[in-house]
Amino acid sequence: MDDNEEDTCSSSSMMNKEKVNASTCHLEDLYIRGCPSLRCLPSIHQLSASLTSLSVLNCSKLTTLSSTGHLPVALKHLTVKSCSELKALLPKGQLPETLESLIIGYCQKVESIVEKFHNNRALCDITVFKCQKLKSLPEGLETLSSLRNINMTSCQDFSSFPKGGFPDSNLTVYLYGCEKLEALPSGIHTLSSLEIHNCPNMSLTEEGLPTKLAGLSTEGIKQYKALMEGGSHNLTSLTYLYISGGLDGESFQDEDLRITLPCTLTSLGIGKFPNLKYLPFKNFEDLPSLSCLRIFDFPELTSLPILPSSLLQLYIHRCPLLKEACKSDKGKEWYKIADIPCVEIDGKFIYEPEKL
């Protein structure tokens, strides 16, 4: 259903109930887009009982999905985007117990999803972006035993997670542009991957990062210092680590970066430190499993540490002095990278012949 059918999208009735029942009784996927008069979806009795996927986009007067607090009982996938007047998905009632994925984006006024998660043990993915007024996720988050992914992007007023914390599941949490968020909830020992970017007031948890953490991506001085003080070498399951100076990068000096990396690392990315002249990790050559290294945005970086023999891929971007030092056969750092199977500098494979 799209904007060519907007006359049928009214707040009182989208179409005659009998016609709806006749034409949609076996409908599994419903896509509604560009219905400027739609304020609320039809009642649950007018929607197919077998509906498993519902998408609602660009409905500028939509204020809630259901006035009764009910959605189709078989619903598995719910997407709501660009509904500028939406304030709550369901101001009363509950999300269907069958729901597996929830995506909400570009809904500037949304303040609430539902009051509480209730028997939503099938829910595995929550993605919210560009919802500036949303302050928290519903209570009961810790009961979502199948939850695998939480993605909160550019939600400026998002300031806290529910007090119950995260569920005991193999959970990945991605946070970007949540300016008011200051801390993770307690009990983060179940996290498998954590990414924090452009969250200037965010500090890592005082209880320390979970030892089972397999992936970690941080940006800014607060997160980095917490990582340094917490002992990153104690993250004995960590295989992926990404460190960015971000907007704080200019305040870093060489001595700020002295940490011992966990020996389990297979992939490491580091960048956006404009004043650093070298990478002073304490044990760079003692990383027996490191296979991929990415270095980017180091305008003053002139040299590489002794690299582990396990390294198979090296990517260098926007590091002009290091690029010069790594020139084939004549750069002073060439001997350190000559035996690495794949080396790219500014997107060019180093073994490509020079163009005349």
Q: What is the pLDDT along the chain (356 residues), one digit of tens a residue?
A: 544 444 334 433 343 344 444 455 678 999 999 999 999 888 777 787 889 999 999 999 999 998 888 899 999 999 999 999 999 999 888 999 999 999 999 999 999 999 999 989 999 999 999 999 999 999 999 999 999 999 999 999 999 999 999 998 889 999 999 999 988 887 688 899 999 999 988 877 656 788 889 999 988 877 777 777 766 777 889 999 999 887 666 666 655 567 888 999 999 999 998 888 888 687 888 899 999 999 999 999 999 998 999 999 999 999 999 999 999 878 999 999 999 999 999 999 987 655 54
Distance between CA atoms of 311 and 333, rounded to whole angstroms?
Answer: 16
- Which of 115, 139, 174 terminates a domain? The answer is 115
Say if CB 274 and CB 247 are below 8 A apart.
no
- Which of 64, 89, 115 terminates a domain? The answer is 115
Per-residue pLDDT of 252-291, as tens digits, reads 665 556 788 899 999 999 999 888 888 868 788 889 999 9
Report yes or no on 126 lying in a domain: no
- What does the chain come to in residues? 356
Distance between CA atoms of 201 and 183, rounded to whole angstroms?
Answer: 8
Report the SS3 class of residue 241.
Answer: strand
- Which of 95, 115, 135 terminates a domain? The answer is 115
Per-residue pLDDT of 110-122, as tens digits, reads 999 999 999 899 9
Say if CB 208 and CB 230 are below 8 A apart.
yes
Report yes or no on 8 lying in a domain: yes
Report the alpha-carbon angle 67-64-167, nearest 5: 100
Report yes or no on 228 lying in a domain: no
Report yes or no on 150 lying in a domain: no
Q: Which two tokens stand for residue 167?
A: 């569920």
Report yes or no on 268 lying in a domain: yes
Q: What is the pLDDT of residue 13?
A: 39
- β-bridge mates for residue 128, sequence order: 104, 152
If we measure between CA atoms, which residue out of 280, 287, 235 comes closest to residue 266? 287
Q: What is the pLDDT of residue 186?
A: 75
The tokens 């994925």 sit on which residue? 101
50-59 CB burial, b ≥16 within 10 A, e <16: ebbbbebbbb
Report yes or no on 147 lying in a domain: no
Q: What is the CA radius of gyration of the chain?
A: 25
If we measure between CA atoms, which residue out of 173, 249, 160 comes closest to residue 210? 173
Say if CB 63 and CB 40 are below 8 A apart.
yes
Read out DSSP for 49-112? Answer: TT--EEEEE--TT---S-SSS---TT--EEEEE--TT--BS-SSS---TT--EEEEES-TT--B
Q: Considering its fold, how many domains does the chain have in total?
A: 2
Report yes or no on 297 lying in a domain: yes
Report yes or no on 197 lying in a domain: no
Strands 348-349 and 342-345, how do they pair? antiparallel
Distance between CA atoms of 219 and 202, rounded to whole angstroms?
Answer: 10
Distance between CA atoms of 139 and 205, rounded to whole angstroms?
Answer: 20
Give the domain range for residue 20: 1-115
Contact partners, residue 333, CB within 8 Å, separation at least 6 = 303, 304, 322, 325, 326
If we measure between CA atoms, which residue out of 182, 268, 188, 190 comes closest to residue 220? 182
Measured from the Cβ of residue 229, the count of other Cβ atoms closer than 10 Å reads: 11
Say if CB 262 and CB 227 are below 8 A apart.
no
Q: What is the pLDDT of residue 227?
A: 78
Report the alpha-carbon angle 244-248-249, nearest 5: 55
Say if CB 227 and CB 219 are below 8 A apart.
no
